[in-house]
């Protein structure tokens, strides 16, 4: 059972492992959108947005609802929003650690403003 759960988690994170898919999820966390809206907001080709939505649909991360001749995409689980926020916090923590390390390496706490000739 644990191996199945670990495989599910690995497959889930693989589905998230693309910058365009992350951006799509961030936009869908603001509300449901169709491909044209996503394409406009992202500034990417419609085919690449559709391709990434297909991956997210296959992993049950998003779903589409037909509205006339358009499909409106939504997050399957609102906890994806929390996951994206936590990932951002982890990134910020790593960034803060890197800045602190650079400040220590420079030995000036980042306050060295002298220009050397």
Which CATH number is 33's domain given?
1.10.10.10
Contact status, residue 15 vs residue 61, Cβ threshold 8 Å: yes
pLDDT of residue 20: 96
Task: Report if residue 84 sits inside a domain.
Answer: yes
**DSSP-derived secondary structure for 10-73:** HHHHHHH-SHHHHHHHHHHTTS-EEHHHHHHHHT--HHHHHHHHHHHHHTTSEEEEEETTEEEE
Which of 23-27, 43-47, 53-57, 104-108 shows the lowest mean pLDDT across its residues? 104-108
Average pLDDT over residues 22-39: 96
- CB atoms inside a 10 Å sphere around CB 29: 15
Q: What predicted TM-score, i.e. pTM, was given to this entire model? A: 0.77
Task: Report if residue 17 sits inside a domain.
Answer: yes
Please count the structural domains in the chain. Answer: 2
User: Is the per-residue pLDDT at 10 higher than 50?
Assistant: yes
- R_g (Cα) of the chain, nearest Å: 20
User: Is the per-residue pLDDT at 19 higher than 90?
Assistant: yes
Q: Tokens 């939505």 sit at which residue? A: 53
Question: Using one digit for the tens of pLDDT, what is the confidence trace for 61-96?
Answer: 999 999 899 999 999 999 999 999 999 999 888 888
pLDDT of residue 44: 85
Judgement on whether residues 46 and 67 belong to the same structural domain of the protein: yes
Average pLDDT over residues 11-35: 95
Average pLDDT over residues 104-113: 65
Ramachandran sector of residue 43 (left: φ over 0; alpha: ψ -120 to 50; beta: rest): left
Range(s) of the domain holding residue 49: 2-76
């Amino acid at each position: 059972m644990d191996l199945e759960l670990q495989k599910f988690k690995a497959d889930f994170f693989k589905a998230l492992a693309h910058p365009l898919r992350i951006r799509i999820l961030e936009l869908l966390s603001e509300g449901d959108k169709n491909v044209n809206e996503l394409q406009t907001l992202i500034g990417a080709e419609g085919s690449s947005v559709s391709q990434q939505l297909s991956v997210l649909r296959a992993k049950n991360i998003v779903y589409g609802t037909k509205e006339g001749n358009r499909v409106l995409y939504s997050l399957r689980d609102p906890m994806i929003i929390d996951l994206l926020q936590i990932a951002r916090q982890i990134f910020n923590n790593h960034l803060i650690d890197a800045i602190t390390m650079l400040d220590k390496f420079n030995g000036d706490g980042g306050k060295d403003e002298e220009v050397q000739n």
